[in-house]
Structures are given as C-alpha cells and as structure tokens.
Amino acid sequence: MAKLWGGRFTKETNKQVDAFTASIGFDRQLAKEDIEGSLAHVQMLGECGIVSTDEAETIQNGLKTILSKIESGNVEFLTEHEDIHMNIEKMLIDEIGAVGGKLHTGRSRNDQVATDMHLYMRKKTKRLIELVEHVQYALLSQAKENIETILPGYTHLQRAQPISFAHHLMAYFWMFERDKDRLRDSLKRINWLPLGAGALAGTTFPINRERVAELLDFDFVYPNSMDAVSDRDFVVEALSICSLIMVHMSRLSEELVTWSSQEFQFVELDDAFCTGSSIMPQKKNPDVPELLRGKTGRVFGHLVGMLTVLKGLPLAYNKDMQEDKEGIFDTVETLEGALDLLAPILETLTVKKDNMRKAVTQDYSNATDMADYLATKGLPFRQAHEVTGKVVLYAIEQGKYLLDLTLAEFREFSSLFEEDIFDILAPENVMRARHSQGGTGPDQIKVQIQLAESKL
C-alpha cells in the first residue's frame, strides 16, 4: 500500500517492519486529541492565509466527519499507515480529496504527537484529580464516624500508643491531598504547547503558535522547537505522581488486608468487594486491596521504563519516544480502576469498634502516659522512662496489664504514684490527652477534619 511518505522509496516496506514500527494498535486512543489538535492547526492556517479559509473549512468539516465515524466505531485503522496521525490523514484525503493533504502544512508528526500527548495528559490528569478526591471523600466520611473509635497505633508493627481510627484514616487523606496538589501542579507544565515546532527546527510558514495555544487552551508555547518535540518530562512526571498514588493506595490496602485478617478483626470488607476460594468454603478474600497493592509493581515498572527510554536520547525526536504511550496508557487505566474501587471499599467498610477497643485494653500502649505522669510530677523524663519500663516488666512477669496493678504495687516503684494514675492510664484518656496540634485527641481531629473539608 502507498505510504504518505512514499516519494523517495523504491520498494514496499517489509511487512514485519510495518508491524514492528506501527503504533496504531495503541495510539488509536489518541484519535480525539489528534483531531482536536488538527482542527486548531488548520483554523490557524486559514487565519494566517497559509491555506484559504474555504480550504480550512473543508478540512475541518472532513475532520469532524472522521471523528464521528471513529466515535461510532465506523472505521478501520490500518497497520500500513503506522500510527493514528497518518491513519487520520489518509482518511481525510479519502474523505475530501487532495485538499486534505494541506492539513499537514507547517507541521510534523513530531510536534503533532507531542501535542496529542499533552492533550491526553491534561484530560487524564483532571480525571485523576476527581478520582483521588472521591477517595478523600470516602476517608473523610469514615473518619467523621470514628472520631471516638479507639485502636492501637503501631510503630514497627508493635503496639505503640492508642489512637483514634479517624486519625489513622485522615493520615491517608493528607497523602492524597498532596497527590492532588502534585497533579494540579503538573498541569502547569502539561499546558505547554509543542505544536508549531515542526519536525525540530520550526517552519518556513508564517504560523501563529499563540493562536493555536489560545484555541487549544494552553497557557504557554514551548520557546524552543527542539525541546518541544523532545520533551516527555510531563509523561515521566505523570508516571511518578501515579507511582506515589499507588504507594499510598498500596499502604492503605496492606492495612485493610491486615485489619480484616482473623488475627486482627478490626474491619470487615463488604461482601460485594471480596471473593471466595474455589476449595476452602469458609474463605472471604480481600482480593481487591491485594491487587491494589500488587498493581503498584506495574506502575513503577512503567516509570522506570520511561526514564530508561529517555536516558541518553540525543535531540530531537527519536522513534524511541513512541514507547512513551503504552506505559502511561496502562498506568492511567490502572489508576482509574484502582481509585474507582478504593472509594466504595472505604465507604462500605464495617469498623469493628469493640475489637479495636478490646485490643488497647490488652497491651502496654499506655506506658508512655505513665512516664509522662511521673515527668509531670517532676521526675526527669529519662528516669520516668526507666521506672515505667520496670513497671511494665513487672506487669508482664505477673501476667497483668498496667491497669490491673494496684496502687501499692505502683508505689513499690515510685512514691510519686497516686490514685489518679488509673484515670491517666485508661485508653480513652490516653487518646484524649493528645491535644497537641495535629495529635490524635478528638478536639484536634475535629480541627483537622474542618481543614480537610476546606480542601474538597
């Protein structure tokens, strides 16, 4: 089949080369963006007198016809035409005749594909911001229901200090808030327009790049044509932000898996979001959080893949850069699916408050408060820590928890202990006493939740 670039060739392309170099199998996803960019380009060509206004209109109508055919699934994309850009250009020429060949005036596929990628990234970044926010809403609504829900807080996965479940959930809220912020910030750089850079050096035609930027709603025109066609930083940035979002989802998923185990029994996932076992009838498996955790690997892979593709590439465009697409497409699809499931999983989560409460009565996570108590009474904290450590050791040996000891037993270790130590050590009081800014005390959580609401 005749190539759009066939002029200087005397032989047909080897079929395997066609298949190996073609990107139509995946860049067909960019059809809409490609046409959007072309519509703006030809509008500008018409306005600048590079093509006549009639020609511009004919081309625009042809492009719109092709778009509606693509949207109704009414077209066949051909590997022989390599990529989405040439498939559409070929369709255009078939649709409106030779005048269609004027579309590519003053343009190259190099600035065209870069523009398509910017348009795609802008659309998807906005969508990801929305989806991250859905997860934040879910976290916030669970948090509001659980301000007074007390459970062990862990460090090193060892019981550390009692905390509020709301506080634990809100920690994730703020991770996602930073992710959202990063996505929003990345839009600044996504909104740079490459079109008009030509193949690499600009063009001899009197084009108006600012006008194209205005038509496509870009904030800034790449000031250097070589950078414009070679830059995929915005793809790396998106992959990196998506990787971090996956990290956050994965950490939360790990907690959901742990908390829903028989050993913890802190939460129960809704039946609708779990699966069973083909052999063990009793099983209810947290497959979704497990896969959220697992899919993190492929997203990291795409990030490293893209960095590796770009490393060492000379300026300007190189075919290697076609490898920017599948990784980011798969990443976006993975995140869309993952975020879309995480929100309802959190919303439908059953919180087993009694089990959480029971856990903090069966540990030594109130020990810090005993040390703080002694320190408040004037004992240097280091000594208070030592005394408390001895009390804990004694209690463990007796097979008791701190609250099971008598005042007389406490006083064996320090005469500073008085009757009020029992109140101090009650788990609820331990949690409530953390009034410091950003702490787990319910008064502070309420402040935090108010701030969180102002972010949505």
Contacts to ligand ARG by CB under 6 A:
23, 27, 83, 85, 109-110, 113, 319, 321-322
Q: Please state the closest distance from residue 70 (CB atom) to ligand ARG, in A.
A: 17
3-state secondary structure of 268: strand
321 vs 338, beta carbon nearer ligand ARG:
321
Element (DSSP H or E) covering residue 27: helix 24-27
- Give every CB contact of residue 19 below 8 A, 6+ residues apart in sequence: 79
Using the minimum distance from each CB to ligand ARG, give the nearer residue, 25 or 49: 25
**CA–CA gap between residue 139 and residue 170 (Å, rounded):** 7
81 is catalytic: no
Between 198 and 442, CB nearer to ligand ARG: 198
Peptide bond into 31 cis (omega under 30): no
Q: From the CB of 313, what's the least distance to ligand ARG, in Å? A: 12
Q: Which of 156, 278, 436, 454 does the annotation list as catalytic?
A: 156
Contact 190, 119 (CB under 8 A): no
Which own/partner contact pairs does 418-425 have at CB distance under 8 Å and 24+ positions apart?
A: 421/370, 421/373, 424/369, 424/370, 424/373, 425/366, 425/369, 425/370
Query: In angstroms, what is the minimal distance from the CB of 198 to ligand ARG?
Result: 11
Dist. CA 386–CA 383, nearest whole Å: 5
Neighbouring residues of 268: CB distance < 8 A, sequence distance ≥ 6: 260, 349, 350, 352
Which DSSP state fits 13?
Answer: P
C-alpha R_g of the chain? 31
Which CB sits closer to ligand ARG, 113 or 252?
A: 113
Minimum distance, C-beta of residue 21 to ligand ARG, in the bound complex (Å) = 8
Q: Please tell me the distance from the alpha carbon of residue 353 to that of residue 223, in angstroms, as a whole number.
A: 58
CB atoms within 10 A of CB 333: 12
Shortest spacing between CB 27 and ligand ARG, in angstroms = 6
Least separation in angstroms between CB 244 and ligand ARG: 26
DSSP-derived pairing of the beta strands 192-193 and 220-221: parallel
Is 277 an active-site residue? yes
Closer Cβ to ligand ARG, 27 or 179, answer by number: 27
Name which of 200 and 416 has its Cβ closer to ligand ARG: 200
What is the distance between the alpha carbons of residues 445 and 416, in angstroms, rounded to a whole number?
A: 32
Q: Which two tokens stand for residue 210?
A: 């600012």
Question: Shortest Cβ distance from residue 321 to ligand ARG (Å)?
Answer: 5
The catalytic residue among 52, 141, 261, 277 is 277
Burial label, 3 (beta-carbon count in 10 A; 0-12, 13-18, 19+): middle
DSSP per-residue letters across 297-331: HHHHHHHHHHHHHHTTPPSS--GGGGGGHHHHHHH
**Shortest Cβ distance from residue 85 to ligand ARG (Å)?**
6
322 versus 366: smaller Cβ distance to ligand ARG: 322
For residue 196, give the 3-state DSSP assignment: coil
Closest CA to 63 of 97, 100, 30, 29: 100
CB-wise, 33 or 55, nearer to ligand ARG?
33
Report, as residue numbers or ranges, the catalytic residues. Answer: 156, 277
